[in-house]
Amino acid sequence: MATATLTIDLNALTSNWRALDAMTACETAAVVKADGYGLGADRVARALANAGARKFFVAATEEGAALRQALGPGPEICVFSGHMAGDTDMISDLQLTPMLNSLDQMLRHFEALPGAPFGIQLDTGMNRLGMEPHEWAAVRDIAIEQGPTLIMSHLACADDPEHPMNPHQLAVFREMTDGLDVPRSLAATGGILLGPDYHFDLTRPGVGLYGGMPYVEATPVVTLDIPVIQVREVAPGETVGYSNTWTAERPSRVATIAAGYADGLIRGMGGEAWVHAGETRCKIIGRISMDMIGVDITDATSDPASVELIGQHQSVDTLADWAGTIGYEILTSMGARYYRRYKS
């Protein structure tokens, strides 16, 4: 096989959901936007539904439509982007719950689908989605009369437990919602870890389900094994790859592996990144190109058939650190060319 194998451990995924659920005394939903963080929303969501999740969150109505086809009737599917123009038929036909973000969305939903389920998203300081305090004050009574299923907001700095933005947003959320007889949600993965004050009636873990930070105790979900196409001898002074960025300082054995930036392996991490050939740590050398990467396997005990980029030795967050990004980007960039193998 000339493409990498992405192994997705659904047992690890559901174990993470159960562990996060056990940290709270409220309902635990699951965020499966961006095709289940790149891992296949259909397979991910069905596994989580079998584990007990009954509420799912996606980014857009189109994602919700695909998820409904995978899950069938029953589980609630909430759409973070709300009720956008052109979404009405899908929301109605597929029983989706938009998180309304503005007065315009409220009017669109109430006029087009009177009596249909909806939630409300409030902005507590992130300045991304949701109604600001003054907007909410103007429409709160009207919205509550229509019976929202949920009022939510989103924390901007939950991955930093000491950040003052966390208690600030908590206070604003309470000011905007205390006394309302509606279920509330503020915490995603990071918010769960901040403790009970942030849990309210529903939590919405996302990246922690998939083995990412800030949930350091998560069970790894993803393994990425990349096949070796060719191994060659490289003499001292010879170079490898585009622009001659790596020069051999000793007699070396160099493996060319079958993945690159077209598979979501960020080009900028090349100078820092490593793979494993068995238990031997091997340096990625030269430029990461579109379909191939060079690896110095001189210290490996034998020429490997494949190397491990993500797995027991290093996580998606390890790669993210090398690339100067976050684990979310690594997960959601996983290439379409990978052969995907699901363990359950």
User: 141-149 — which CB contacts under 8 Å span 24+ positions?
Assistant: 142/106, 143/100, 143/106, 144/180, 144/182, 146/110, 146/118, 148/100, 148/118, 148/119, 148/120, 148/182, 149/76, 149/97, 149/117, 149/118, 149/119, 149/182, 149/183
- Active centre residues (catalytic): 33, 242
